[in-house]
């Protein structure tokens, strides 16, 4: 438990829109607040591992989406390490990269607003993206190499991402 520096009451996590912050439990009589990001920021910590792109040292850093491993020579080198276990478990082959003979995979990413989307890990070479989680299954109507998992009204369906195809599976 952290105490409010103004009045001594307990600080609690509060939410406003998409922002989370620590605020005094005595609000509105005490309006003290502190951003959670301020607490989570750390100084970059050298890891003693060379960057695979440029050879400089990799660092543990703090960003707007949490901790990550990136190159110490940023912005000259924009390498960011990804979790290899997540890549294999949660990704499917990118249909655009398969056509072009590349090894791209569709992986989960987070946008500026904090909303999750799914796009090819070969960006900017490939700009394929989806708003919903991909499933490695061919569309029975148009033959497209993947479907999306859509949840609505308490049920889950597989839908085709192609605009010209209106395939929807029965609820799973």
Please answer whether residues 114 and 108 qualify as being in contact, where contact means their C-beta atoms are separated by less than 8 angstroms. Answer: no
- Residue 90: band (very low, low, confident or very high) from pLDDT cuts 50, 70, 90: low
Please answer whether residues 58 and 71 qualify as being in contact, where contact means their C-beta atoms are separated by less than 8 angstroms. Answer: yes
Q: Tell me what pLDDT residue 138 has.
A: 92
- The edge-to-edge listing of strands for the beta sheet with 147-152 is 134-135, 147-152, 155-159
Please answer whether residues 30 and 42 qualify as being in contact, where contact means their C-beta atoms are separated by less than 8 angstroms. Answer: no
Contacts for 130 with CB less than 8 Å, ≥ 6 apart: 106, 117, 118, 119, 148, 161
Ranges of each domain in the chain? 11-39, 41-81, 87-131, 133-172
- Report pTM: 0.51
pLDDT mean across residues, the chain: 81
Percent of the chain with pLDDT over 90: 22
């Amino acid at each position: 438990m952290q105490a409010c520096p103004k009045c001594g009451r307990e600080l609690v996590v509060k939410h406003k829109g998409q922002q989370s912050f620590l605020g005094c439990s005595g609000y509105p009589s005490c309006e003290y607040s502190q951003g959670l990001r301020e607490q989570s920021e750390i100084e970059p910590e050298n890891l003693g591992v060379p960057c695979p792109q440029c050879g400089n040292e990799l660092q543990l850093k703090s960003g707007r989406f949490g901790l990550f491993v990136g190159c110490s020579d940023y912005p000259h080198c924009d390498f960011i390490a990804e979790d290899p276990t997540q890549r294999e478990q949660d990704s499917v082959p990118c249909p655009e990269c398969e056509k072009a003979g590349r090894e791209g995979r569709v992986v989960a990413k987070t946008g500026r607003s904090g909303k999750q989307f799914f796009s090819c890990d070969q960006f900017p070479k490939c700009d394929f993206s989806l708003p919903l989680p991909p499933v490695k299954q061919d569309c029975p109507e148009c033959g497209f190499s993947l479907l999306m998992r859509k949840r609505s009204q308490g049920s889950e369906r597989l839908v085709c991402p192609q605009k010209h195809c209106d395939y929807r599976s029965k609820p799973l």
